[in-house]
Amino acid sequence: MILSDVRQHIKIHRSVTLRDLMIRFDVDADALRGMLSLLVDKGKVAKKSATNECGTGCCKCDSTLVEIYEWRNSENSSQ
Domain ranges of the chain: 3-71
pLDDT at 15 over 80: yes
Measured CA to CA, the distance from residue 67 to residue 18 in angstroms comes to 5
> Greatest CA span in the chain, whole angstroms?
40
pLDDT at 66: 77
pLDDT digits (tens, 9 = 90+) for 38-75: 999 999 999 987 665 455 566 666 666 678 999 998 64
pLDDT at 78: 46
pLDDT at 1: 64
Positive or negative, the CA dihedral 21, 26, 31, 35 is negative
